[in-house]
Amino acid sequence: MKFDITGPPPPWHRFSNRLRPATASPRILILLDRSKTKYQSVIDKIHDINASVSVKFVETDFEFMANVRKAADTILADRDVTTIDALFNNAGVITNDLVRTPDGFESQFAINHLSHFLLTNMLMPRLFTSSCPKIVNISSLGHQHCQPTFQEPHFNNIDPQKYNPTEAYAKSKGAQVLFSVALNRRTNLKLETLMVMTQEIVGRSLEEANETLTKTSEGGCATGLTTPLELDVPNGVFMNDCEVPKDPELVTAWAQDAGKAEVCWRVSEGAVGQSFSFEVGLL
């Protein structure tokens, strides 16, 4: 098995369930983030758990769409990576002020959604070679607070003094849920298991930026990193606390709307400047 994980947070080495993919004995584990030095302790711990795992680190700055493309191209060009069995879209950010990426996007929308949209679609040829590919999009129950409109992903018309970071975060996570809905509709016959996680923000750096969190880092990541290893999880489910939520209101109705999901897909394609087709002949 081969796993890709974006934005593995620094506290990985403290929590056994964050290292669970290593216990599943993947042949290759690919980590994507900005600094390999910061994650060397993670790599060392993975090897302590399972010395047979080949850990590859692909330097990726999720603020730059060009850098995300470069990371995807690096993985696609790697002769050792002929198949990807699971992709964990885990990278995320929350800001207190309006921050723009070098591409001109509002940073939360770019990092929390657009980067994953682009990376996932570019890696689809390797996912489709797996007998049971899985994509895990880490979202947040915070998506409930504000529905994305997709009218202005660059936030050019937003007064920085009136910028609401909580709403912007919610919109980015809502977009990620809608992306999952649209992706599931497009790949239902080829991508056997698509799981969408809805949970609160996890990771120490995000905790420091937002005092309203309701999960510890260990508890929050348990669903995202455990579920892909369970083969009996239905396709296209929303999960929270390691189970399909019994409360239907945990995932808002608009976040499951096929029409809104298609709008999200089209706007995201326009934002990254590339259209994606999953016709068999193109893969």
Give 79's contacts (C-beta < 8 A, 6+ positions apart).
none
Number of domains into which the chain is organized: 1
pLDDT-wise least confident of 55-59, 100-104, 214-218, 259-263: 214-218
Domain harbouring 157, CATH code: 3.40.50.720
Residue 74 pLDDT class (50, 70, 90 cuts): very high
The whole domain housing 182 covers 2-282
Could you count the other beta carbons within 10 Å of the beta carbon of residue 120?
21
pLDDT surpasses 60 at 272 = yes
Catalytic residue among 109, 169, 179, 238: 169
Check: CB of residue 50 under 8 Å from CB of residue 77.
no
**DSSP classification of residue 188:** T
Percent residues over pLDDT 90 in the chain: 25
Q: What would the pLDDT profile of 202-224 be if each residue is shown by its tens digit?
A: 333 444 444 443 333 344 444 44
What is the three-class DSSP state of 262?
helix
When pLDDT is averaged across residues 143-149 and rounded to a whole number, the result is 63
pLDDT-wise least confident of 66-80, 157-171, 248-262: 248-262
pLDDT surpasses 80 at 238 = no
Establish whether 169 is a catalytic residue.
yes
